[in-house]
Structure 1
């Protein structure tokens, strides 16, 4: 059975917000824009992003949830809190995307190209790391994966439809700074909660 409790609205909403913020200016969002401008077929691109995210984030949340169950201790909770602070600092580093999509499957259809490219680019990405941390925090792989997937789609669907306009109009440096502050605050709050201060 998958590690899961009753549906936790807090876990779902937090997961959605954390990943939506972390995805702004991230290399997977830049990949979505590159795919959209190259292929100009938004629906198969969105479908590919959705399927790749569901698979990647479910297993990431499951790993986090399982690890938390095995390592549920005060020090592990401090490590999760420190992970959120580190995520905040990582968010300040701008991402770039490898424009060589053909190497990631460009000979296939748009859907399969997007699915393969997104799945590979998401490996080790900050949104995947955030999903693992959220799974560890909430011990609920299904709810966390649902929330992080929604967060990815909230950030990437507009990027697919608006393409380069998103980059031109959204002040990514400001958004990254706000996201970083939120991550650091969340990490500090989790640390204070573990210490019994809140």
Structure 2
């Protein structure tokens, strides 16, 4: 249960103000079809985070506990620093509309998530917990928690969310996880 809850909270916080949330806003404005957009986000996130989670679980079986702890702790600290950097959707990243709301969202979200901090966080969380289903369910739910309001409420809601404060809170959560992990390794 801890893996599910921590994964949900960490990704939901990290996702606020992320480029995928900006992408959700663009898709919502372009298509004005929230259900296919949310279904595309769900499908893309499940596929992307399942692959990332699998890598994390596989790595946890390959590394010694000490090495795993150092890599995990340093990864959480790197994600904390990355989280503090604001994201913006690049002009060339505008999603196309040829294939409809669902397919455009599915493809765009899957591609934009590759190498994103939430995908890296999914690998790190799967390394930490070695519970693939709980981590993937949590990170996917966290993505939906952060992106559903963007899809439903559009840019008006995004302007009211204090993105800087949310980025700092997410960074603090990742930093706390990193420091706690490194402290456990150092004391072992």
Normalised-by-shorter TM-score class = over 0.9
- Contiguous gaps of at least 5 residues in structure 1: 1-8
RMSD over equivalenced CA pairs, Å: 1.4
Distance 1:12 1:40 in 2: 31
State yes or no: 1:110 paired with 2:105: no
Alpha-carbon distance, 1:55 to partner: 0.6
Distance 2:109 2:181 in 1: 30
Q: Which residue of 2 aligns with 1:131?
A: 122
- Contiguous gaps of at least 5 residues in structure 2: none
Asked if the contact 1:50–1:149 (Cα under 8 Å) also holds between the matched residues in 2, the reply is yes
Distance 1:106 1:36 in 2: 12
State yes or no: 1:152 paired with 2:143: yes
Q: Which residue of 1 aligns with 2:170?
A: 179
Asked if the contact 1:29–1:159 (Cα under 8 Å) also holds between the matched residues in 2, the reply is yes
Alpha-carbon distance, 1:196 to partner: 3.2
Q: Which residue of 2 aligns with 1:4?
A: none
Q: Which residue of 2 aligns with 1:78?
A: 70
Alpha-carbon distance, 1:195 to partner: 2.6
Distance 2:22 2:16 in 1: 9
Q: In structure 2, do the counterparts of structure 1 residues 67 and 142 end up closer, same or farther at CA, with 3 Å as the change threshold?
A: same
